Amino acid sequence: MSLSISSVTHPSSVMGSDASTALTNVFDSGKYTTKFQRIESNSCNGTHPDPPPPKSLLIATPLEGGEFPVLLFLHGYLLYNSFYSQLIQHIASHGFIVIAPQLYAVAGPDVSGEIHSTAAIKNWLSEGLSKFLPPNVTPNFSKLALAGHSRGGKTAFAVALRKLNITTDLKFSALVGVDPVDGLDRGKQTPPPVLTYVPHSFDFDMPAMVIGSGLGDVKRNPLFPPCAPKTVNHEDFFNECNKPAWYFVAKDYGHVDMLDDDTNGIIGKATYCLCKNGESRKPMRTFVGGLVVAFLKAYLQGDNRDLLAIKDKHLSAPVELKFDYFV
């Protein structure tokens, strides 16, 4: 196998606890210095002794030694994993190993391939991930979470719901949908469909959080549909979640406002043209990153102080909330 690796160093700065004593501001960078690494599997020639990942990966990990929870993050429709660099580094700076695969280059209407790829990556983790991490950094696979944006959010829920009867070696313990979308409209869902329109019908044994965008269901121009249409968006996903579930909607921000400020290429430029956007991306990006950190700390590490601080407004969010709900 031929494997190319590049990295850059990025400097950053109990359940039931009282939210007013939150330890950190999760919307700021965390205390860990992060290493950002790209792993690409190109061709088979037998020159690399370690098994490559099934798909190319971006990995953000703390540089300081320790054992850290792991988050697998799935990109949105036709987007590149590199568009989420700032988001995943923010999460990693709070003490998480974040893995963002490139699931495809060209996507059809069916997400079955993404479901199979996610399962294959999950099975690779226990065998292959440690060999590409700093020597003093250890992944804790008993604290493994799954997240996804847009179509990647649908894929994450599909994996959690065991669509296509996929089985994996490791178990996910928490699920996050970042403005998840199930298709163009009710009845026009990309197969396999996830939404059933039956309240609290999702059958998975893990806590979930859904983050929505207030402008996702607004058209940017008359030639294209909204990027997160009503009847197949964050509201519908949350309605089918069971306890415990958390729901936050940022009022004045759009479907792709959690991406990097600079997204290059035709696709990167299109992210500023096809979806209704807020004034800037940084507030939404830090909002999403902070929520993910607070949620994972609560349900993977048993420390819900930051999550409750956000809920009780003791910690100010960088965006105005349109809606929040907790069950």
Which residues are catalytic, by number?
A: 150, 179, 255
Distance, in Å, from the CA atom of 198 to the CA atom of 203, rounded to the nearest integer, reads: 12
Distance, in Å, from the CA atom of 325 to the CA atom of 244, rounded to the nearest integer, reads: 11
**Cβ neighbours around 134 below 10 Å, total:** 14
Report the amino acid identity of residue 267.
I
Q: What is the four-CA torsion angle of 235, 160, 155, 202, rounded to 10 degrees?
A: -30
Query: Using an 8 Å Cβ cutoff, are 123 and 83 in contact?
Result: no
Q: What is the CA radius of gyration of the chain?
A: 18
Write out the two tokens for 221: 């121009």
Distance, in Å, from the CA atom of 144 to the CA atom of 52, rounded to the nearest integer, reads: 20
Residues 6+ apart with CB under 8 A from 222: none
Task: State the DSSP H helix or E strand holding residue 58, giving kind and residue range, or none if neither.
Answer: strand 57-62
Distance, in Å, from the CA atom of 54 to the CA atom of 26, rounded to the nearest integer, reads: 32
Query: Using an 8 Å Cβ cutoff, are 130 and 100 in contact?
Result: no
**Three-state secondary-structure class, residue 62:** strand
Distance, in Å, from the CA atom of 215 to the CA atom of 225, rounded to the nearest integer, reads: 12
Distance, in Å, from the CA atom of 36 to the CA atom of 27, rounded to the nearest integer, reads: 20
**Cis, peptide link before residue 52, omega less than 30° from 0:** no
Query: Using an 8 Å Cβ cutoff, are 94 and 30 in contact?
Result: yes
